[in-house]
Amino acid sequence: MKFQTSKEGPLAVASKMLVQGCFEGEIPFGGQKVNNRIKLEGFTGKLGEHFIHFNDVAKATRLLVVGLGPRDKFDVKALRKVLTTVLKLVKDNKLDEVTFAPKVGEVDIVGAETFGENLATYAGLVDYVINHQKTARGKHKSEIRLQTVTVLVDDATDAGVTAGLAKGQAIGEAVNFARDLSNMPAGQLTPNRLAAFAQAVARKSGGTITCRLLRGAQLRRIGAHALLAVAQGSTQPPVLIDLTYTPKTGATDDVLGFVGKSITFDSGGLDLKTADGMRTMKRDMAGGASVLAALSAIAKLELPVSVRVVMAATENMPDGDSYKPGDVLKTMAGLTVEVDNTDAEGRLTLADGIEYIKRQNASKVIDLATLTGAQRSISSDVGAAGFGNNDEFSGLVAAAAKSAGERVMFVEMWEEFRDGNKTDMADLKNSGGDPGSVTAAWFLREFAGEKTPWVHLDIAGPSFRSRELGPDPKGSTGFGVRLLVELARLSVKK
């Protein structure tokens, strides 16, 4: 998708659709013919309200007038809602090109760079399609996709909008990369294939990202026995993916650590899932997809903060060699874990991943994981459930989520729920019972410890939906990519 600016006037632009916003109550809007149409439509300028006028006064074929709501309440959140509405209309009208003619007020209120960034990000998010596996032989016809987005600017806004468009394009492409990965069938995205995608991200970074892959004997040497145990039932070998981003300006004392759950397929192991429960388990590596994609965007944006990404990739399959309920595993951290349920495998691989990234001197750690079905009872498929051991870092993550437009509901970790992970046989068991998301978070916290600021985001609901929501399609959403990029930005500002 190409993003560009132009200093032409709205009446001179030859576009298939010209988009203009109208603040509530600020009518008349434009020429008499358009204002007559406004009266006919009963248009008042409420947020998201819109109509299309087939133009007979300008060079543009269509004029899309969209309501911006009250001027004194217009902000980035309102802008995102308007952009979602407009870009879905562009998609529904099968247009490959659109021109935005924002009023000075729209750009001044949110800022030129913020306007450009959100426009480019949301253009990428809304344009996404899931049909990568369809073929011409199956009578699939290539749909018309958005190719060119133009923004009309003046001398005062040109530089800001242009810079914002470039940043937004990088973020939108990263979200769609994460969507592609977790929409990919598990037969195609094996642990080693995920590792190959990580290597490609490093190669494309211009030397700012390095990638190390640990397999087999290397995993045994570092004590990654929990990861190895989960992998026992699969013919696909596990791999621990370790990526390091060092800014061109040099390494920073503060090192952000991102850990993503990367179970490329989860059958439940010997505690086998039902057929319905297994149907979409290709998405159980959505956390890994998001941390990898976020790192690619951070490198493109050249953010001046060091970042470490860890993905403990494996399948969880039933086999004669599978790890079994009742087994006791020794984790990389030295804690022993009794296997209460082989379908609680994600917290085992994350335990080794969190310990590993701590050993690499990450100063703050955030993990993203499709960890528990119980998360839906907290925040449904709208947002993640958040847990942490440090109020300041949890607050920073919450601020990043709000700024990025992604929802996180933080849950207090009452000490009483910690005992749910106790067992007679070992230090911990891997399934602590109700409330499932909280006891799972407490399990991970035993490995995060209390010295390193840590946040766990359970993204089981929002990472993969059965419905469209906002700019997200059905299927994989790439949840968390925008949040992590914003977290890196906020860490620079601190």
Is pLDDT of 59 > 90? no
Q: Which residues are catalytic?
A: 273, 347
pLDDT digits (tens, 9 = 90+) for 105-133: 789 899 999 999 999 999 999 999 988 78
The listed CATH number (3.30.70.100, 3.40.630.10, 3.40.640.10, 3.20.20.390) that belongs to domain 186-493: 3.40.630.10
Q: What would the mean pLDDT of 42-59 be, rounded to a whole number?
A: 85
Q: How far is CA 402 from CA 76, 160, 169, 380, 463, in A?
A: 11, 22, 20, 17, 17
Q: What would the mean pLDDT of 424-445 be, rounded to a whole number?
A: 96
Dist CA 170 CA 1 (whole Å) = 11
pLDDT score at 131: 80
Answer yes or no: are the C-beta atoms of 22 and 66 closer than 8 Å: yes
Q: What would the mean pLDDT of 389-401 be, rounded to a whole number?
A: 98
List, in sequence order, the alpha helices (H) in 143-253: 158-183, 191-203, 216-221, 225-231
Tell me the sheet residues that pair with 64: 19, 52
pLDDT score at 140: 76
pLDDT score at 409: 98
31-45, 221-235, 426-440, range with the lowest pLDDT? 31-45
pLDDT score at 25: 86
Answer yes or no: are the C-beta atoms of 413 and 476 closer than 8 Å: no
Residue 71 pLDDT level (bands cut at 50, 70, 90): very high
Topology of the domain covering 2-171: Leucine Aminopeptidase, subunit E; domain 1 (3.40.220)
Dist CA 442 CA 458 (whole Å) = 12
Q: What would the mean pLDDT of 282-307 be, rounded to a whole number?
A: 98
Is pLDDT of 494 > 70? no
Query: How high does pLDDT run on average in the chain?
Result: 95
Nearest-10 crossing angle of helices 286-301, 158-183: 150
Would you list the domain boundaries of the chain?
Answer: 2-171, 186-493
**In what order do the strands lie in the sheet containing 50-54?**
2-6, 148-152, 97-100, 18-22, 62-67, 50-54
What end-to-end distance do the CA atoms of the chain give, in Å?
34
pLDDT score at 338: 98
Answer yes or no: are the C-beta atoms of 76 and 32 closer than 8 Å: no
Q: What would the mean pLDDT of 242-270 be, rounded to a whole number?
A: 97
Is pLDDT of 307 > 80? yes
Dist CA 44 CA 46 (whole Å) = 6
Strand, helix or coil at 171? helix
Buried/exposed 46-68: b ≥16 CB within 10 Å, e otherwise: ebebbbbbebeebebebbbbbbb
pLDDT score at 29: 61
pLDDT score at 398: 98
Residue 30 pLDDT level (bands cut at 50, 70, 90): low
DSSP characters for 3-19? EEEE---GGG---S-EE
pLDDT score at 139: 72
Percent of the chain with pLDDT over 70: 98
Is pLDDT of 57 > 70? no
pTM above 0.85, yes or no: yes
pLDDT digits (tens, 9 = 90+) for 193-226: 999 999 999 999 999 999 999 999 999 999 999 9
DSSP 472: B
